[in-house]
Chain A
Amino acid sequence: MTLEVYPQSRLAAVLRSDLFYKFRTSYVTLAAALVTLAIVLAALLAPWIAPHDPFDVSTLSLWDSELPPVWAEGGDPRFLLGTDNQGRDVLSAILYGSRISLAVGFISVAFAMAIGIVIGLVSGYFGGKVDAFFMRIADVMLSFPTILVALLVSGIVRGALPREMHDSAALIVLVFAITVTTWVQYARTVRSSTMVERGREYVYAAQLVGRRPFAILFRHILPNVMGPVLVIATINLAMAILIEATLSFLGVGMPPTNPSLGTLIRVGNEYLFSGVWWVVIFPSLTLVALVLAVNLLGDWLRDALNPKLR
């Protein structure tokens, strides 16, 4: 093992990162991975592991309404985290709600990634007017807060749709709004990487043997720019979940008949004052845990893939 000496500030930087960093954060990363995995699995298996079906009205009983969690006084062992005002099991609602939150998150990340990659590759490879056009749009979008853009897009779509379709189309509207809001980051990153890769010998070689531009883009350049894209995708998964939750909380996302975590928090918030805290707190904690865990995974991935820190 060869050692190197750095000037003071660099030395300090290395002490703060590198092996030291990995050592310091490995437990945190591990915990984050476990939490994410647990929530994703629980959401996937919700129909089988949830103690109740929160959407089956016939199983609900008003006798069971507003029961506190089991460990509190008056808790009922059937309802681990208590019930809401209709006697719905909070734990089951959370499991089903996470399903929707994660679904919106994953689907919109997939769409945003696909669109962003294509636009980024094309902009970076061909440059010129196409590039200028997309990058101006990107500039404008990035200068406004994400949540505002998402709200605006969903507002426009809602304005275009007849009112009675709002609830049934909610998931599609959300995915659309989040996709439109978040493709920009992928496009920017892919574009700048593409511009670098375009100048490399292997691209030149591929051009020489007469490969078509799109074959070069997807076969040769794309694999080389996937690293940063994966990092953005992870961090954007957290962001997508957060945007979805915020829109649903604001009442312009998932309807109460098909609630996501955000909707559950919105509904629970309405009877916070009657002292029924568990209906709002548990979905909130789930959301915070999920977003924090995915964010930490994203941080870790970024550091692991960043050659400067290795």
Chain B
Amino acid sequence: MIAFVLRRLIQSVIVMLAVALIAFSMFRFIGDPVNSMLPENASAEDRQLLRDRLGLNESVPVQFARFVSGAVQGEFGISYRNKRPVAAMIAERLPATLELVAAAAIFALLLGVPMGIYAALYPKGVLSNLLNVVSLIGISVPTFVTGILLILVFSVWLNWLPSFGRGDTVQIGWWSTGLLTASGLKSLILPAVMLGLFQVTLIMRLVRAEMMEVLRSDFVRFARARGLTNRAVNFGHALGNTLMPVVTIVGLQLGAMIAFAIITETVFQWPGMGLLFIQAVSFGDIPVMSAYLVLVALVFVAINMIVDLLYFAIDPRLSVRA
């Protein structure tokens, strides 16, 4: 187990170094950082000064080492556009994105898992067919169109829910949360639904497919042959084995949701990292982009590790190696 964790840690570090190399190359070789950071009329001395300060005159490996050690300390340089430290800008935006993703994930799980179970247990039911059709359409509709429709119906026509921003937020240390105010919670609903809806269809299809597979397996048939109640068989034996692979996919989807949050945050003007990133992309603000890239990769790698460790927790075949 310890050997496994160690091996995974080393793998993760290698992946992170590769991502850091990409991020560094972006920063170093695309455009001229000096030109991007200084006003057009800056003097040659200023340029030389900044060049020294950024260490651009040193050899590339040394620069990369400097970049990595900076990144480890949360140092990603100065935004070309805002002239502020990138780390601080991202830290400001991080809570908004994480709260959005968490809310969307909970929404997706609460809706997707029961729907998937239902569709697996009653594959011929009217409701199951309806769910299938809806999920087929749901997968083909671009998420931003879903968001626009939500705004049109619930904000413009019905005027029930706000359509942009986070509402009132409360500051807890460096974390700003919208979960503690009524307007914050109301503002969260539509963005979370938009971000979660695609995942609902995904989770539902996945749970249905896995569960149907497990329901056909020998140990479920044997459990039925022992006269266990349907409830014990379906929820005690089948569901547990269904959720194993679901955990993996949902974990990986969390990473994807942080990426998809870019679209949601644009539609709802949600002040998170995604909005920051999209502004950086349209301005070619490389330091922000590379910091975002490193951060998202870190989240991906971390989630991957957590999912693997979770397997140890729920699958006895892995945890007790006799």
Q: Nearest-CB distance from A244 to chain B (Å)?
A: 11
A–B Cβ pairs within 8 angstroms, 17 of them: A144-B300, A147-B259, A147-B262, A151-B277, A155-B289, A159-B285, A238-B140, A242-B142, A246-B143, A250-B281, A252-B281, A284-B148, A288-B142, A291-B141, A291-B142, A292-B137, A292-B141
Q: For window 261-310 of chain A, which residues contact chain B by CB distance below 8 Å? A: 265, 269, 272-273, 275, 277, 280-281, 284, 287-288, 291-292, 295
| Interface pair A151/B142, CB less than 8 Å apart | no
Point out residues on A near B: beta carbons under 8 Å: 9, 140, 143-145, 147-148, 151-152, 154-156, 158-161, 163, 238, 242, 245-246, 249-252, 265, 269, 272-273, 275, 277, 280-281, 284, 287-288, 291-292, 295
Asked if A275 contacts B156 (CB within 8 A), the reply is yes
User: How big is chain B's contact interface, by range?
Assistant: 35 or more
Interface majority SS on B: helix, strand, loop or mixed?
helix
Interface membership of B286, Cβ < 8 A: yes
Instruction: Report the Cα distance A292→B134, complex, angstroms.
Output: 13
- Which B residues lie at the A interface, using CB under 8 A? 18, 26, 30-31, 137, 139-145, 148-149, 151-152, 155-156, 163, 216, 255-256, 259-260, 262-263, 266-267, 277-278, 280-282, 284-286, 289, 293, 296, 300
Q: Whole-angstrom distance between the alpha carbons of A245 and B296 in the complex? A: 23
Q: Judging by beta carbons under 8 Å apart, are A272 and B281 in contact? A: no
Residues of B with C-beta under 8 A to A148: 259, 262, 296
**Which chain A residues lie closer than 8 Å to B278 at the CB level?**
151, 250-252
Instruction: Output the least CB separation between A173 and chain B (Å).
Output: 11
Q: B289 — which chain A residues lie within 8 A by C-beta? A: 152, 155-156, 159
Q: Are A158 and B18 in contact (CB under 8 A)?
A: no
Inter-chain residue pair count (beta carbon < 8 A): 105
Given contacts A152-B281, A159-B284, A292-B137, 12 further A-B contacts (CB under 8 A): A144-B259, A145-B259, A151-B277, A155-B284, A249-B263, A252-B278, A265-B144, A265-B148, A281-B152, A288-B141, A291-B141, A291-B142
The 8 closest A-B pairs by CB, nearest first: A159-B284, A155-B281, A148-B259, A292-B140, A145-B259, A145-B256, A284-B145, A158-B284
* A100 to B: closest C-beta gap in Å: 16
Q: Flag if A250 contacts B263 (CB, 8 Å).
A: yes
A-side contacts of B284, CB under 8 Å: 155, 158-161, 163
> How close is B81's CB to chain A, nearest CB, in angstroms?
11
Given contacts A151-B262, A151-B278, A159-B31, contact A277 B152 (CB under 8 A): yes
